Amino acid sequence: MSRSAGALLRLAIVAVAATSLGGCSFLGMNFGFNRLTEKECMMRAMYFESNRSSADGMLAVGTVVMNRLNDPRYPKTVCEVVGQKNQFAQGVLTKPMTDSGAVLASQVADQVLRGSRHPGVQNAQHFHTAGLRFPYNNMFYVLEAGGNEFYEKRSVR
């Protein structure tokens, strides 16, 4: 077998192995992007939205995801909630997680998926970057954590 044929064979074996891993990730690189687990989707939302700032900030983001999941107006899986267009950071489900924040995100995702919630988030289903304030009467701020302001939308009476 020639050197180039051997290289092509090795490349083909790697490609087949990578695509058969569906949903497995290694060092932040996901193989089979359409097969992320609920934990991976939760990790990614917390990792990118809290800027890897703290377990407190990650828990708050995870609580918002779960609050949405429990509301009939939103999709029925963590991955669908996190993947909703224009709701979470662009590329949240595809960008690589490259630092130690991924380890913390994994630990906090396990806690959230087992039922832990940030008590300060209450029923909030929304957040934006801390330091910004908007003049809408229906935004009731409940918490600042992880570089974000968390708020509930309530009807104004």
More confident residue, 115 or 157: 115
List pLDDT tens digits, range 32-84. 445 899 999 999 999 999 978 799 999 999 999 999 999 999 999 999 999 99
For every residue of 60-107, DSSP letters joined together read HHHHHHHHHHTSTTS-SSHHHHHTSTTTS-TTTTTSPP-STHHHHHHH
For the chain, the C-alpha Rg in angstroms (whole number) is 19
Helices vs strands, H then E, count in the chain: 5, 5
Per-residue confidence (pLDDT) for residue 25, from 0 to 100: 40
Per-residue confidence (pLDDT) for residue 4, from 0 to 100: 59
pTM: 0.77
Res 20 pLDDT > 50: no
Q: Are the CB atoms for 31 and 22 separated by under 8 Å? A: yes
